[in-house]
Structure 1
Amino acid sequence: MLACLWPAPAAARLTQAELARVVVAPEPDAQAPLDLAFTDAAEGRPLRLSEAIGGRPTLLLPVDYTCGNVCDPMLSMSGNALAATGLEAGRDYSLVLVGLDPRDDTAAARRMLDQELGLPAIAARTRALVGDEAAVRRLTGALGYGFVPDPGTDSIAHPAAALLLTPEGRVARILSPLALNGRDLRLALVEAGEGRAGHLGDRLALLCYGFDAARGIYTPLIHRILGVAAAATVIALALGILLLSRRTRRA
């Protein structure tokens, strides 16, 4: 799932030890530092990570704004999956991009948004953040997101991964942007938001579905489904007996 794509010459320049650092391995209860200050590409003003998240479940995409390989389809496919969830950006969830290369400026971030997202309603509420090396390293270190710059080819080897954060900034899931679909992403956002997004039907679905980390999708939990079905059967029988007893007394 966490495929790493970069120009072919980069593979020859990076050592095996360096490539081994290109992973996503957050610690249990990993927490994004919400006090980190970045620059918002859209407005050109300082913005703390807590403001970008806005107290909502957040899909965080670490990207290279000048990358012409994996980052473009990552953003495009993430946008399409978010649109297919039926949830509203800026109300039910946040989409936050963080540039991995501190040399990229706000113009590069806006250019990627304009060219690759292609969804005005989502793009208008997407936060594309640019920060210095210290801020980027602190954020990725806290989230267990490893990447390696290759100065020889001016590229960055990094995992093709999205981090789903809770409204408090904790890592809830690691998702593959290249394999997202609307249904699974909706359930993931509802789960990360602890029911603040979506509706009752989504929360009931989560009772019967669990996230399969190996496949990156939500799959039925047979034991839980059987338990819910058994409980519903017992309730239905109890209501039936109650109605029959009332009719008998009336007769």
Structure 2
Amino acid sequence: MATSAALAIAQSEPVRERSGDALPPELEGVDVTEKLGAKVPGQLSFTTDQGRKVNLGDLIGPDRPVLLTFNYSNCPLLCSVQLGGVTQAMAGMRRTLGSTFRVVTVVLDPKETPASARETKLKYLEQLRAARKALELPAGDPAEADAAWTFLVGQDRDIKSLAKSVGFGYEYHPGRKEYLHPAVFMMITPTGRVAQYVYGVHFEPGMVEGAIAAAAMDVTSESTQNFILSCYHYEAPEGLNAFLIMKIAGIVFAILLVLVLGGIHLRSRLSRRPAV
């Protein structure tokens, strides 16, 4: 009996155009169609991780841009890596969450509860506080950070409507009972326009700060990436141990996380060193 393992597949856009039939059929429609300058539908209704009913527009503007992500708590691999990358980028930034920007994470699974979403969010907020403390940076007010990062759960039609408005293509895999989706976040201006697409799972703090600053000024920026990471499962060959596959994947991501944290810490120490 074949076993399965989770992978994040890098899809190069030029390669996809030349050899689209090489992609697994499950990934058809799992893509990003950039819609720079498009307005997000502020009238869509959601429930926050604290159980409050809101319209999307309530979380946008008037003076702060929004870092928008699409994830869900039971995602087997990619969501945790992407949100971990966003968290580590925020940990190394000069500005603190809530001071000049906010984060909105839209939950892809319409069955997820506010309580589950809140548990996931608090985990990343704790990681953020711990990382900034390790870097000897001010962590900011926990209550302000909690209010500035909102997880939204909602009905399937509203989730799909928002995803379509920003060109975020995802699909539900009924056999796996999970969502296949790209790893990308969008910067939304205070006026509700899409300002930039940022791809991947590892982000330089300075790059994210630059994206936030540009979005705050209502400036749209072209993406510099040409590949998309997508969450996908594959069937492993007969006899290949799934535990071994996942163990190797875990080691790889652990090494990447150490490198990211080490790089942030080194840059922080160098920035505080007096000039000679």
TM-score by length of 2: 0.63
Distance 1:211 1:144, change over 3 A: closer
| In structure 2, C-alpha distance between the alignment counterparts of 1:72 and 1:123, rounded to whole Å | 18
| In structure 1, C-alpha distance between the alignment counterparts of 2:123 and 2:171, rounded to whole Å | 25
| In structure 2, C-alpha distance between the alignment counterparts of 1:7 and 1:169, rounded to whole Å | 38
Corresponding residue number in structure 2 for 1:61: 69
Structure 1 position 32, deviation (Å):
1.0
| In structure 2, C-alpha distance between the alignment counterparts of 1:117 and 1:177, rounded to whole Å | 20
| Equivalence map 1:168-187=2 (5 Å) | 168-187=191-210
Deviates most, 144-153 or 173-182: 173-182
Matched to 1:23, the amino acid is D
Write out per-residue CA displacement over residues 168-187 of structure 1, whole angstroms, 9 at most, x where no aligned residue.
12111111351211111111
Corresponding residue number in structure 2 for 1:138: 161
Structure 1 position 30, deviation (Å):
1.9
Corresponding residue number in structure 2 for 1:86: 94
| In structure 2, C-alpha distance between the alignment counterparts of 1:102 and 1:195, rounded to whole Å | 31
1:49 aligned to 2:56? Answer: yes
How many pairs does the alignment contain? 193
| In structure 1, C-alpha distance between the alignment counterparts of 2:5 and 2:90, rounded to whole Å | 28
Deviates most, 127-136 or 44-53: 44-53
Structure 1 position 211, deviation (Å):
6.5
Percent of aligned pairs with the same residue?
Answer: 28
Partners of 2:186 and 2:196 within 8 A in 1 = yes
Larger C-alpha radius of gyration, 1 or 2?
1
Partners of 2:67 and 2:187 within 8 A in 1 = yes
| In structure 2, C-alpha distance between the alignment counterparts of 1:52 and 1:81, rounded to whole Å | 22
CA RMSD of aligned residues (A): 2.7
Write out per-residue CA displacement over residues 34-87 of structure 1, whole angstroms, 9 at most, x where no aligned residue.
111100112x11011122234311110100221131111211220221232211
Query: Could you tell me which of 28, 31, 34 is aligned with 1:23?
Result: 31
| In structure 2, C-alpha distance between the alignment counterparts of 1:195 and 1:168, rounded to whole Å | 7
| In structure 2, C-alpha distance between the alignment counterparts of 1:188 and 1:23, rounded to whole Å | 21
Q: In structure 2, the residue corresponding to 1:85 is in which secondary structure?
A: coil
| In structure 1, C-alpha distance between the alignment counterparts of 2:121 and 2:29, rounded to whole Å | 28
Q: Which has the higher contact order (CA 8 A, sep 6+)?
A: 2
